[in-house]
């Protein structure tokens, strides 16, 4: 099976009731260098972004990182996060990604 996603960040954000409020497929270089809606509390509140899931794919289509961040939609703060890296390392905490 051919891997379709290469050098891509695939992102999905949902509200507290599970509705999609953000989705994007971004070139991985742009993902690392860009600002994102979850970078500021005001944008998190405006979107009602409760959960962000991300999948980062490398040049060969390999999964470099999978992560999830949960936010407080009332004040825009990060509540929890985790990330699993290509080598299997898992990080957690408010700043796990």
Indicate the pLDDT class of residue 94, thresholds 50, 70 and 90. confident
* The predicted structure's pLDDT at residue 4: 82
What mean pLDDT is reported for the chain? 92
- Going from N- to C-terminal start, the domains of the chain cover 8-93
Token couple for 65: 């990182």
* The predicted structure's pLDDT at residue 5: 87
Distance CA 48, CA 86 (A): 30
| 37-75 pLDDT per residue, tens | 999 999 999 999 999 999 999 999 999 999 999 999 999
What is the SS3 string spanning 25-72?
EEEHHHHHHCCCHHHCHHHHHHHCCCEEEEEEECCCCCEEEEEEEEEC
Would you say residue 96 has pLDDT above 80? no
Would you say residue 31 has pLDDT above 80? yes
């Amino acid at each position: 099976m051919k891997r379709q996603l290469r050098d891509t960040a695939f992102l999905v954000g949902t509200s507290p009731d599970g509705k999609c409020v953000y989705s994007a497929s971004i070139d991985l270089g742009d993902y690392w260098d860009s600002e994102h809606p979850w970078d500021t509390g005001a944008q998190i509140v405006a979107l009602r972004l409760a959960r962000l899931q991300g999948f980062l794919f490398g040049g060969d289509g390999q999964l470099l990182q999978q992560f999830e961040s949960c936010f407080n939609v009332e004040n825009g703060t990060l509540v929890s996060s985790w990330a699993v890296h290509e080598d299997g390392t898992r990080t957690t905490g408010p700043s796990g990604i």
